[in-house]
Amino acid sequence: MSSSPPSAELSPLARSLVTFVRERALLFPGERPLVALSGGADSSALLLLLCEAAAAGLLPQPVGVAHFHHGMRGRDADSDAGFCAALAARCGLPCLIELGALAQANEAEARTARYAFLQEAAVALGGSVIATAHHADDQAETVLMRVFRGTSVAGLGGIPVRRENIIRPLLFARRSQIESYCAERGITPRHDPTNDDPRYPRQRVRALLPELVASFNPRLTESLCRLAEHATEDAALLDQLAEQARGTADLRTLVRPLRRRVILHKLWEISHSNETLREEVATAAWVVRLEQLLEGDGTLHLPGGWGVSARQGNLIFSLRAPALDLADGCRELRLPGAVKMPDNRTLTATLGPPLLAAERRRRSLRVDCGTIPEILTVRRVRDGDRIAPLGMNGKTRLVRDLLREAAIPIEKRTSQAVVEGNGQILWVVGIAQAESTRVAEGAKRVLLLDVTETDE
């Protein structure tokens, strides 16, 4: 990527995009973006702007585009997909289109499915990052919605410029600039009528903003975006300090903002593998209740089966899972649920979208299974146990041989756990999973098994 100033031959908006990408270090050396394309003005402009900058040698060429057809709006959505394919072809880029079956899904479910597809598309096309077309007006609306609901300094940060491998190169631009750019390029973007539906909170806030601009501040959007930028910087500092304070023996000795941030980090940690649970527990309300618990005693029960108790100014988190009965060596596990294994770690079973291809590893403490029995059994390894591992075309292996090949010490093999379903071993925990658990292409909901450490 060239470090020279943006070319004068670029459109003004493309010059601004190049400057924004560079100043915010949105693309690391060697990274190429996949563009998430809905067919609307925002994502269409993003694709054309990135290609314009790439043609000038100032940014890397996108690897392609990806369009998710939610299966919600019939022929109108079919036309969206056709538009995206045509625009990608105009740019000389491959286009991946996924057809979902989300007619009855809510916003959260649709978003989860969409981002899961985008991650898979990025891997398929060799994209390092995924570029989405959120812009300054989206940012202002997001901040205002969070203010109305009540939020923390982190919430005031709004939409992050980059989170993991998701980047937002258009967060600097106004909606009016984007629409003008599309008109200049001679394209008529698609329009999703659900974006005008007042049943959705964002649409109500969007309709309210012009009145607020006229009554209070003609530069309200810019002010809200500036607030988001400052809040993001403040939150980053709090996160850094909270990470340093994690080992504090008595949380009561910390100043209040830092103490609350440490508690919030712990809530993020216990809900890392379950987005729905994170939305339930990683909230200001639970932070306040846990902070109050530090001053007293007793136990609080969180969603997801977690219990929290206070001990000498610290919080002890534990998953309320039945201890594995070593007398018979097995325990029933219903979905969703959790159970403690012989080594005192906790096995959690939930239902959710499949793991990304990059997350699937044979020796892993987290797997997804296409087999979803109503009841699972978790037990110790027994002599004679056999499993048909993934990729062996149904050929079975003795579990004890797999443990030996995995260099599990002899004294630990008797406490090794397996997960059974429908009378077959589905997973030798952390070692191998069965061919019968292979996730079918296009699966939307699978069994997720996750092993975590639990506090004593």
| pTM value > 0.75 | no
Arithmetic mean of pLDDT, 100-124: 81
Q: Could you give the C-alpha distances from 85 to 37, 108, 136, 186, in angstroms and in order? A: 9, 26, 27, 17
Cα distance between residue 370 and residue 207, in whole Å: 44
Question: Which of 18-32, 95-109, 352-366 is most confident?
Answer: 18-32
* pLDDT of the residue at 3: 58
Q: Is the pLDDT of residue 5 over 70?
A: no
Task: Dump the DSSP string for 405-440.
Answer: HTT--HHHHTT-EEEEETTEEEEETTTEEBGGGPPP
Closest by CA to 448, choosing from 319, 354, 346, is 354
Q: Is the pLDDT of residue 455 over 60?
A: no
Cα distance between residue 82 and residue 39, in whole Å: 9
CATH of 245-319, one of 2.60.120, 3.30.465, 3.40.50, 2.40.50: 3.30.465
Confidence of residue 8 (pLDDT cuts 50, 70, 90): low
**Helices within 216-252 (DSSP H only):** 220-244
* pLDDT of the residue at 84: 96
Q: Is the pLDDT of residue 244 over 60?
A: yes
Q: State pLDDT tens for residues 427-448.
A: 999 999 999 999 988 888 888 9
* pLDDT of the residue at 331: 82
Q: Residue 219: phi, psi to the nearest 5?
A: -115, 40
Fold of 330-452: Phenylalanyl-tRNA Synthetase; Chain B, domain 3 (3.50.40)
Cα distance between residue 323 and residue 157, in whole Å: 42
Arithmetic mean of pLDDT, 200-227: 92
The hierarchical CATH code for the domain 12-133+168-196 is 3.40.50.620
* pLDDT of the residue at 415: 81
Arithmetic mean of pLDDT, 158-177: 95
Mean pLDDT of the chain: 87
Cα distance between residue 422 and residue 76, in whole Å: 43
Q: What number of other Cβ atoms are within 10 A of residue 417's Cβ?
A: 25
Q: What number of other Cβ atoms are within 10 A of residue 172's Cβ?
A: 20
* pLDDT of the residue at 326: 42
* pLDDT of the residue at 224: 96
| Residue ranges per structural domain of the chain | 12-133+168-196, 245-319, 330-452
Return the residue matching tokens 């059974």.
420
Q: State pLDDT tens for residues 331-388.
A: 888 777 888 877 778 888 888 888 887 777 778 888 999 888 878 889 888 888 999 9
* pLDDT of the residue at 373: 86
Strand order through the sheet with 432-433: 330-334, 375-380, 417-421, 424-428, 432-433
- Helix (H), strand (E) at residue 317: strand 314-319
C-beta of residue 221 within 8 angstroms of C-beta of residue 140: yes
Task: Dump the DSSP string for 28-57.
Answer: -TT--EEEE--SSHHHHHHHHHHHHHHHTT
* pLDDT of the residue at 211: 92
The 3-state DSSP class for residue 321 equals coil
Cα distance between residue 330 and residue 323, in whole Å: 10
* pLDDT of the residue at 445: 82
* pLDDT of the residue at 454: 59
Q: Is the pLDDT of residue 105 over 80?
A: no
Cα distance between residue 268 and residue 158, in whole Å: 18
Helix, strand and coil in the chain, % to nearest 5:
40, 20, 40
* pLDDT of the residue at 456: 47
Arithmetic mean of pLDDT, 163-171: 95
